[in-house]
Structure 1
Amino acid sequence: MDSMAKLAEIEQSFKKEVETCHDIQHLEDIRIKYLGRKGELTTVLRSISSLSIQEKKEVGRQANILKNLFSDKL
């Protein structure tokens, strides 16, 4: 799976989890799952180094947009 598809999958999964969230602890668990040191979005950002320059720009831009979106929603 390419990085852009992985980011789209992460975004959809995040949105579903936030919609079904029912308490503060669950929100914290979601934050850790996606934005933590070993989180899904963090993993994609770490894998950028193996991409071509053009892919780095696209994936990096989209990953940062998602990171900001996730932070705002939480």
Structure 2
Amino acid sequence: MVGPSLSEADRAVASRRLKYGFVVLIGCSGGLVALAADATAVQALGAVVAGLLVGGALLSYLGYVGRQWREKRRR
């Protein structure tokens, strides 16, 4: 018997974790770049928050592009 190794619920959880990890990675990288540039703690925290916002915007854009791509492949 051949079938998917993950159930739909497990797949949704894994997808959600991957998305959160992507956004957190971008946010943390903004903070680390700020610290490397000798930023204060407040400035580094601001860079993390800005990075999280940019990561969320990038994730929503990639979701939009992915939906458009899937729709074109179905035709």
Larger radius of gyration: 2
TM-score (norm 2): 0.38
Output the TM-score relative to the length of structure 1: 0.39
